[in-house]
Structure 1
Amino acid sequence: MVDIEKANQEALKRVLDAQPVWVDVQKAIDVIPGMKKNMLLHAGPPVTWERMSGPQKGAVMGALVYEGLAKTPEEAAELAASGEIIFEPNHHHHAVGPMAGIISPSMPVVVIENEAFGNKAYCNLNEGIGKVLRMGAYSPDVIERLKWMEEVELPVLQKAIRKAGRMEMKPIMAEALTMGDELHNRSRAASYLLFAKITPYLLQTMDDIKKTNDVIDFMFANIHTFLPFVMASCKASLEPAENIEGSSMVTVMARNGTDWGIRVSGLGDEWFT
């Protein structure tokens, strides 16, 4: 008979032993396992285009325009309904995403490695607040910001973190908690701490003063800069606790505006909604 308590102790130990470290920023298509050019990853359990909530549909439409697969939101909606686009949960690809959670192939993603176990997790960079794709917005200024993040922010941050080599996430999270953050809706302190740690490397790797200054200004003004880092860190920390026979630990809790679902360690990849 399986010892559930022992299984849960092992699952908890793996979570506590996790050492999430920021190691890179890359395009989703280049680093997320199983990502395809005609694939969009989304928040929550599996959901079809027809069942998606309004904001998630809006985010899909914006992502398809951003990727150049559609010229207008109307074309994007037709394409999404055509069956030519593959929709899969972020959690099926070691990834997470905020709100609608849409990750498209060209989007820059944070790469977090759990050094204790060797697994990696991914989350798209944060757009800031206001009118943003994750909330379902798809106006031209939203698309323009996404392109800027791909063409400017990605290479600037990539050079900086590669110069740094690695950056531990737990110390930032621990200090931010003592400063009032809860590390999701409020991540202001953690964002400033990350900013302070990465800025020297941004300056050391600066090729274009304007581009680097723009990235610095964007990161400093965005109170959610740290959000993708903590989300990917949590994903990387929890994945080693999956698939432990007999464990009742919930390793995934996710929603997409239509369904809320969980996955349980000892029950494999099955979703319960």
Structure 2
Amino acid sequence: ASRGDVRFSPCHHHGSVGPMAGIITASMPVFVVENRAHGNHAWSTINEGLGKALRYGANAPDVLDRLVWFRDVLGGALGEAIRRAGGVDVRALIAQALQMGDECHNRNRAASALLVKLLAPEVAALDLPPAERSRILAFAAGNEHFFLNLGMAACKTATDAAHGVSGSTLVTAMARNGTDFGIRVSGLGDRWFTAPALTPVGLYFPGFGPHDANPDIGDSAITETAGIGAFAMGGAPAIVQFVGGTPADALRATRRMYEITAGESRAYRLPALDFRGTPTGIDVRLVLQTSILPQINTGIAHREPGVGQIGAGIVTAPRDCFEAALEALAEAAK
């Protein structure tokens, strides 16, 4: 990379999203999600699972061997299984998972189980050696974040459809690269408004603590941008066992997000709030008027490469991003 042989570019610039380090290369199989109402698409890789994973900076032989298996076996098998199933209605799956205790960012147990349930019969029917079919099903069933990347791509198709509306103050992307946090605003084209990324506050795996943590990183904040993730954690009380806090904190967080959003989802509803739609459509003006910053559930990566995930927690978007965006909106309106 230092010689210029490899070029780096944000996933968002290519219609894609990647959790944490977000690496997508030409050899990686990806999920393709279509927004049939608007005709746009988004892409994301297959989730590797928790702990030591490439997206967290881990690069041990077992991590690389798993990626080779993704490329040579798993990607093609999942693609065929999805086609045999006639596709996956991702929005319907998210809606169901939200009513089963997920928030579809850091808690994907129900969503992943529903996806495995849908695809398992098709995987079992594939023309593969029994050992490979068993390995595929064991990997999917054992990965509680199996659904995450697919959900992220679905969220991107939704927010991209809202992008490019003249004068709109809605946020259509939030992303972090471990150094900076950036937002895109519907009415301001492809510009990013950035500020230093903050470090999450949360729970750490044994042997790690805040001094080991890297600042916030990844594209997975697209879930909050689309109205799920931390915006829906009021319906996912068990998430606090992973990111910290109490069920009351989770409810309070979701209720606060209604104060900075333009509306409520008609597709994603929370039983704990009498089936109220999730807060959706972050409005730059409301963020600054209320001084309430968008909240994000996130994994925590070690600040040194090769270690991987060391915990999970809560972080907010930096206020400076929204101030810069509002100034640009005011300038554009002149």
TM-score (norm 2): 0.57
Q: How does 1:210-229 map to 2 (within 5 A)?
A: 210-229=131-150
Q: Quick one: which amino acid aligns to residue 187 of structure 2?
A: G
Superposition deviation, residue 265 in structure 1: 0.4
Within a 5 Å distance, the mapping from 1:43-192 to structure 2 comes to: 80-192=1-113
Q: In 1, distance between residues paired with 2:15 and 2:63?
A: 26
Q: Which residue of 1 aligns with 2:158?
A: 237
Which fold has the larger relative contact order, with Cα–Cα distance below 8 Å and residues 6 or more apart in sequence?
1
Structure 1 residue 157: Cα displacement: 0.7
Letter of the 2:68 counterpart: K
Q: TM-score, normalised by structure 1?
A: 0.70
Superposed CA RMSD in Å reads 0.9
In structure 1, stretches of 5+ residues that fail to align are 1-79
Helix, strand or coil at the partner of 1:95: coil
| Structure 1 contact 156–206 (Cα < 8 Å) conserved | no
The corresponding residue for 1:35 is none
Contact (CA 8 Å) 1:248, 1:266: kept in 2 or not?
yes
* Larger proportion of helix: 1
CA deviations on 1:92-134 (whole Å, 9 max, x unpaired) are 0000000011111111111101111111100110011121101
CA offsets 1:11-33 (integer angstroms, 9 cap, x no match): xxxxxxxxxxxxxxxxxxxxxxx
- Cα shift at 1:207: 2.8
Kindly provide the CA deviation profile for residues 126-170 of structure 1, in whole angstroms up to 9, marking residues without a partner as x: 011121101001111111010011111011111111112211011
Shift of 1:271: 0.5
Q: Which residue of 2 aligns with 1:60?
A: none
Q: How many residues align?
A: 194
Cα distance in 2 for residues equivalent to 1:207 and 1:184: 32
Question: In the alignment, residue 74 of structure 2 is paired with which amino acid?
Answer: E
SS for the counterpart of 2:84 is helix
> 1:25-84 CA distances to partner (integer Å, 9 max, x unpaired)?
xxxxxxxxxxxxxxxxxxxxxxxxxxxxxxxxxxxxxxxxxxxxxxxxxxxxxxx21112
Contact between 1:163 and 1:205, CA under 8 Å: does it hold in 2? no
Checking the alignment, whether the CA contact within 8 Å between 2:85 and 2:118 is kept in structure 1 is no
Provide Cα deviations, 1:224-259, integer angstroms capped at 9, x if missing partner: 000011000000111111111010110000001011
In structure 2, what is the Cα distance between the partners aligned to 1:246 and 1:202?
A: 47
After TM superposition, the structure 1 stretch with the greater mean CA deviation from structure 2, 136-145 or 196-205, is 196-205
Q: Is the 8 A contact 2:126 2:133 kept in 1?
A: no
C-alpha offsets along residues 187-219 of structure 1, whole Å, 9 cap, x if unaligned? Answer: 011000110011111123343211111100000
Separation of aligned partners in 2, 1:201 and 1:166: 11
Aligned to 2:188: 267
Percent identity for Structure 1 against Structure 2? 51
